[in-house]
Amino acid sequence: QVQLVESGGGLVQAGGSLRLSCEGSGSYLSLTSMGWYRQAPGKQRELVATITRGGNTKYADSVKGRFTISRSNVRNTVTLQMSSLKPEDSAVYYCAAGRCIDCPPGYWGQGTQVTVSS
């Protein structure tokens, strides 16, 4: 059984920074790729960033240069450092895990709200 426990999020002004963290436990293979997705009201859930154990990363174009994803393989934690936040970054952010960087996630966290005020 894979579990993903998120922390971080909250309210920040535009231009500010926030950090999200997620700790995973369970199957080694199921945690090969860990990352973050987000869903804003009325929109589909979308990829934000993912990272593999080997350090390969994938970012949405909208966050490149502003967000940085990192990972600790020892603790199975993934961190998303978000900077230069914009109101359009407001969404529920979900930690996700899967067997490869391009695979649909097989596991999800409970979600954490990020709100960026203008």
Which tens digits make up the pLDDT trace of 78-90? 999 999 999 999 9
Average pLDDT estimate for 46-61: 97
Per-residue pLDDT for 29 more than 80?
no
Given this model, what pLDDT does residue 37 score? 98
| Residues linked to residue 70 through DSSP beta bridges, in sequence order | 79
Average pLDDT estimate for 13-39: 93
Torsion from C-alpha of 80, 78, 109, 20, nearest 10 degrees: -30
Given this model, what pLDDT does residue 39 score? 98
Band (pLDDT 50/70/90 cuts) for residue 44 is: very high
What token pair was written down for 99?
């067997």
Comparing CA positions, the residue from 70, 100, 93 lying closest to residue 4 is 93
